[in-house]
Structure 1
């Protein structure tokens, strides 16, 4: 059976059972994208309806809006509010095809990638594989704590928190109760700050209603940061305001402290401090993740792939890297660009335009990152904003943060769900249903790299 599509010159043929992943036959250049995060989807949007065949590979069948993972973790949002199916995203894009597969190896010599479902050939390959949690070699911390890199992590944190609060109401052992109700967040970047603020509001407004058998003061929240300020990539004003907001919420902020060990019950810092806690959430660092086949000499700090200003992997002519995985090293950016959504989106859009030029034997211009500013929230009506020379904090910064994040979520339904939940929370301080759908059991499996090829 042959079906001709005159719009994109693609001819679909009956699939054969082979070692290859079945894709429509096409005489168009094939661009394979590994990873459907911010970078990968921005690239797909630029290439839709163009004279190319686009193949998106991901080991999930959905895109996840990572900036709001902490709200799922603290019961402010349900998980389906911040995830969006790839197939729904590309519905109507006749030249774009999604395949659910985990890429295991790149064989650059033959322009082929090997996945757990079969092989795929390419004319151009784009790595948008994102990052995973970096525990910096501390095995005990990795084994006993939780990162916050994907929707599964968020649900694990939610279930761990609720289960431990329920257990605290049962136990008569004071030390055990303290450990169950103490929460430690490691890392003073946006993810750590936002998580600490959300937990503090849970403690202030939800705990007294749900657990009247003990006072909200029983729940202690610690934020540990290894350097002397929070939000180190933002301004001093943003850092100092964030510290004040957190302290007003009774978060115990420990600066110039680094975790050295965690056994699942007690946190130890390098200075010798100890904290009883059965809840440790790690947001202190990330590292790149990508399939085998990239020469180690092209890999730089934090396991990122070194590229030039055209986002091409060094030593390659048709392999590109974008998003968090890409380290664009230059005199202006000796450490690469910041690993944030805005960078990923800009790189995805730029590469889409550039690939179309390369296919036409035209020369693209080098990529230039435009910093549109930074935002971080510390609970309701409290946020900080650095927008060029404008640096401000408070209600307006929080309102701006809310609008930017709401507009960035994929899908009208998801925007509606998040907006409704935020509106209810704004007036009532209520959270979503705090249900324990499944028991969370800490195992060594939780320490496996949890990144989902997203950036």
Structure 2
């Protein structure tokens, strides 16, 4: 197959193997043409559980699944392992690190990246968590700093190693805070008996007046109370001014000496070059119409976190959550097949089936329409939804068994420092180092 030639059958090129791209490619099973799925990784990642990889509850392999294996029975899908660098809409091609690829219809499902809001110092020293590599970096940082704290004699330096700050009070920040607090409360004294008198602290810093601002007031209040009960110190309605790798400064005058800052405070669209500045929002999302088509482009579409479908109901675009990407992928597949038959495309309407967030063992919140749940029932729903959303029976089984073991023993088994992370240079050390 020559990827830069014009084909007899229509060719749909999908960039990104996340929730949206995966659903779109699957839904094109009966499409009479070629489907190219392009990704710079050869696997699909279940991002909602990244925080459990970062905190040692799950092994990284359990939340990823090979893209080629997903589509080995779908004859019209070809996977291409490369990195897209630019969109060339005038020639209906995309530039990649391995050459140009032609398309009849192009769909970007490239997702989002961490938004540091232009602060280069924070970007260098704080730890993001948007992919497996970053989650493993966080795991190494946490475990290495605990090991260093064991040997540190200077009490101030020791405390900085034991202070953990999570910036961002959305679902990711809340779940991370809860997971690290549970580690402090149930695991620290087992793995580090010599640290039984250590004063490990967990801080959560959020710019809004409440946590989980996108959820109901009931969910927000309950999540905050649970975290407080677990020993998390919470700062609401404040912003981080600076972090130099040693001292984190908050605009309310609070200073925290810490070697551990995890940034979950914002996201921005991750899109290749080729769009005009006017086509992008402030958060770098591509503005699309009600069918996910990019304005002033006849055959380029964007779905999921990278898309901003502006409306009265969603003035900033739809929330950057997996259900939006999945529904847009499924809907766009139907529209693309309509277009190839010279039929009109239909507008996308998001069906919000609810929002879930877990705080810890037996602790979760759920907004299911007008129904608001908390505690054990919400936690069981969270477990069921996440297990069923995973790709592959083996992954589901591995994660279920890991969760069952952790529930019984209060002790996960994946706290391994496989690769050392240099917290001064903020990079993985080579074996030679």
The answer to whether TM tops 0.5 is: yes
Q: Which residue of 2 aligns with 1:410?
A: 391
2:313 aligned with 1:332? yes
SS at match of 1:399: helix
TM-superposed deviation, 1:53: 0.5
Q: Which residue of 1 aligns with 2:91?
A: 110
Q: Distance in 2 between matches of 1:280 and 1:86?
A: 32
Match of 2:296 among 299, 312, 315: 315
Change (3 A) 1:444 1:119: farther
2:46 aligned with 1:65? yes
Match of 1:289 among 270, 288, 294: 270
TM-superposed deviation, 1:50: 2.2
Q: Which residue of 2 aligns with 1:193?
A: 174
TM-superposed deviation, 1:22: 7.7
In the alignment of these two chains, the number of paired residues is 428
Q: Which residue of 2 aligns with 1:8?
A: none
* 1:383-422 to 2 correspondences below 5 Å: 383-422=364-403
* 1:72-151 to 2 correspondences below 5 Å: 72-151=53-132
TM-score (norm 2): 0.96
2:11 aligned with 1:30? yes
Q: Distance in 1 between matches of 2:384 and 2:312?
A: 35
The question of whether the paired residues in 1 share the 8 Å contact of 2:4 and 2:100 is answered with: no
2:370 aligned with 1:380? no
Q: Which residue of 2 aligns with 1:160?
A: 141
2:165 aligned with 1:184? yes
Unaligned segments of structure 2, at least 5 residues: 429-433
TM-superposed deviation, 1:433: 3.0
TM-score (norm 1): 0.92
Q: Distance in 2 between matches of 1:47 and 1:445?
A: 42
TM-superposed deviation, 1:257: 1.6
Instruction: Please list the CA deviations of residues 57-107 of structure 1 after superposition, one character each: whole Å capped at 9, or x if unmatched.
Output: 111111100000000001100000000110011111111001111101111
Change (3 A) 1:22 1:402: same
Q: Distance in 2 between matches of 1:355 and 1:159?
A: 44
SS at match of 1:386: strand
Pick which of 409-418 and 328-337 moved more. Answer: 328-337
TM-superposed deviation, 1:381: 0.5
- Higher relative contact order by CA 8 Å / sep ≥ 6: 1 or 2? 1
Change (3 A) 1:368 1:68: same
TM-superposed deviation, 1:446: 5.8
Pick which of 290-299 and 377-386 moved more. Answer: 290-299
Instruction: Please list the CA deviations of residues 399-440 of structure 1 after superposition, one character each: whole Å capped at 9, or x if unmatched.
Output: 000000000011111011001101111111110232111111
RMSD: 1.5
Q: Distance in 1 between matches of 2:24 and 2:414?
A: 36
Q: Which residue of 1 aligns with 2:431?
A: none
